[in-house]
Amino acid sequence: MSLSKDPMVAPSRVRLFSSLSLDLDWLIAHTWILGVMLDGVFRLELFLPEEYPMAPPKVRFLTKIYHPNIDKLGRICLDILKDKWSPALQIRTVLLSIQALLSAPNPDDPLATDVAKHYKENEADAQRVSREWTEKYAHA
């Protein structure tokens, strides 16, 4: 797999590999995702373990976000980052899946239980808070 230090903007509005930190044992890519529904720029950290591609990459949000499937530490509840991982999947697929998760929160499979409760009790207000957080923390 080759990674470029130059940003690449895909038609899907996912910006890939804007900066890389290389080490002898691991690689961290700082990635930005432009949210569709939230219309923000979200910074992520992508870590490729030594076992990659047999093991999934580790991805976490560095930008604060109000989302039922992303906790306060930035960890993401996404099946392809866990038990549904396949070595055939690409980093681009992972990022597109995260972007899709931003547009379609799943409060029935939460990491942030308080946010999930808010979504279940008052989805419109939860979306309002999500937009406020996006404006505050993820504005380009």
67-79 pLDDT per residue, tens: 999 999 999 999 9
Q: Is residue 23 part of a domain?
A: yes
Distances (CA, A) of 69 to 24, 30, 31: 32, 20, 19
- Residue 18 confidence class, pLDDT cut points 50, 70, 90: very low
Comparing CA positions, the residue from 58, 67, 60 lying closest to residue 104 is: 67
Pull the structure tokens for residue 57: 């990459």
Asked if the structure places residue 1 within a domain, the reply is no
Instruction: Say if 116 falls within a structural domain.
Output: yes
Within-domain flag for 87:
yes
pTM, rounded to two decimals: 0.78
The token duo for 56 is 């999934």
**Residue 2 within a domain:** no
Is residue 3 one of the residues assigned to a domain? no
The rounded mean pLDDT for the chain is 81
Alpha carbon of residue 2 to chain centroid: 21
Is the pLDDT score of 36 beyond 60?
Answer: no
Its domain, for residue 45, covers: 8-137
pLDDT of residue 39: 75
Active-site annotation, residues:
77
CATH number at residue 85: 3.10.110.10
- Residues 84-138 have pLDDT tens digits of 999 999 988 998 899 889 889 999 999 999 999 999 999 999 999 998 999 899 8
What does the pLDDT read at residue 21?
54
Count of structural domains, the chain: 1
Q: Is the pLDDT of residue 58 over 80?
A: yes
